Structure 1
């Protein structure tokens, strides 16, 4: 079983997935190709989003733990339309993020939008989330060229837990009857999601348990893509109360 990536691994994987993203942009017949999983965007729009986002996070990390979110717009070069220049701009965006994260180290505090989740507000957690952002958008770009490639195993396995801990865990009250869902990766990892008036809490467990009202199963790659809305939940195997899965996927704790 793969171990969770440490901070050095996270930075390496961000760099690798960013390189794969640029390879997709370089291979595209046109930057005006539509992105099926981001239907309002072309490949150029996706590239601009990815580059601007990494620059903003680099600025946020560099600003220190007492700062709020930083925008990279002021004084930053816009995404160029010419392909070679765009590729260089994307590489520079990634490097800004990696440099900021290396300078900060994993334990330093950092502003994040996931304050009530189970993910810490640290630069290490930012690196972990940034890897998933880059990995999923790399899949988007590859899919626009005809075939999205599976996420690497170490990215996908950590991606399930990262999404659940960052995007699902919350102190906002679950608006339905208390329930529990197990999320099981075919590679041998399971996470127990408990839902109650206290919110949603995520606990890694050794195997799916009888205490769960529903269990959703798939490869780690399939689970990550479903959690991020890239493939339909219906493509996963579900045991137990499927209606509960529909409620969970539709739930927005911020509403």
Structure 2
């Protein structure tokens, strides 16, 4: 099983992905080009989302454990339309967040939106989720300019686990069907099991000693995380077992 990325690696990879995102924006033939994986958005809209969001999260991280919600972007400075200035604004936005994370360290409490999940409410968890958010949006920008690349394997492997722990675990909402298990397996190594029951959904690392899951979803780590984030269809992956479970989990209304 892959080892979760440490805080130093998270910050380093965050910086690398921010550079990769800015590179796509800088080279995009048209900032008004649509982003198919983010319906209704253009490349410029995506850049604004990244810049404003990083400044908002920087303020939220800086507020520490006393924060009661995500601090909204103040609107100053606004995103410029001119390309070179926009790229510089993005760089400053990303550095604000990286600086706030580095100053806080990995263990300080921080407001997050995933309170009921298996991810902790810490700046380290924020850094981890931010890495996978920018990785997805870098992919989105690449789709818009027609030059997609697989996610780097270390990021993708960590991304599968982070998504499952943060977005697919709950004890507040009961699974409305018969108890079930799903294994998510990366061809590069790494397997995670989702346990679905009246107690909700919990994620464990699969060491191979458990009984066979009701369904197994397999693919490269990049394809798995792209599927989990809704960027590619499940048909891009191999499915063994009861497909009904996959249909049930993908249509599960977590707000019920």
* Closer/same/farther in 2, CA of residues 177 and 126 from structure 1, 3 Å limit: same
- 1:201-212 pair list within 5 angstroms: 201-207=202-208, 210-212=211-213
1:7 is aligned to 7
Q: Distance in 2 between matches of 1:73 and 1:113?
A: 16
2:246 is aligned to 245
CA contact (8 A) 2:70 2:111 kept: no
Deviation at 1:254, TM superposition (A): 2.3
Q: TM-score, normalised by structure 1?
A: 0.97
Report the Cα distance in structure 2 between the residues aligned to 1:103 and 1:241, rounded to whole angstroms: 47
Q: Deviations over 1:217-249 (max 9, x none)?
A: 000000000000000011110000112111112
- Partner of 1:188 in structure 2? 189
Q: Give distance in 1, aligned partners of 2:121 and 2:66.
A: 11
- In the other structure, the counterpart of 1:153 is 153
SS of aligned partner of 1:187: coil
Structure 1 residue 131 corresponds to structure 2 residue 131: yes
Q: Distance in 1 between matches of 2:195 and 2:247?
A: 15
C-alpha contact 1:182 1:208 (8 A) present in aligned 2: no
CA contact (8 A) 1:117 1:167 kept: yes
Q: Which runs of 5+ in 2 are unaligned?
A: none
Match for residue 218 of structure 2?
217
Counterpart of 2:232 in 1: which secondary structure?
A: coil
Partner of 1:90: 90
Q: CA deviation at 1:208?
A: 8.4
CA distance in 1, matches of 2:246, 2:120: 26
Cα distance change, pair 2–190 in 1 and its aligned pair in 2 (3 A):
closer
Contact 1:110/1:123 (8 A) holds in 2: yes
What are the residue-to-residue correspondences of 1:92-131 with 2, within 5 Å? Answer: 92-131=92-131
Q: Which moved more, 1:209-218 or 1:48-57?
A: 209-218
Counterpart CA distance in 1 for 2:163 and 2:23 is 26
Shift of 1:71: 3.1
Q: Which SS does the other structure have where 2:253 is aligned? A: coil
Give the whole-Å Cα distance in 2 for the aligned partners of 1:71 and 1:194: 34
The alignment partner of 1:32 has SS state of: coil
Alignment partner of 2:39: what SS?
strand
Distance 1:2 1:14 in 2: 19
| Number of residue equivalences | 255
Distance 2:23 2:239 in 1: 35
- Partner of residue 177, structure 1: 178
Distance 1:43 1:128 in 2: 24
What TM-score, normalized by structure 2, do the two folds share?
0.96
Instruction: Give me the whole-angstrom Cα distance separating, in 1, the residues matched to 2:24 and 2:204.
Output: 36
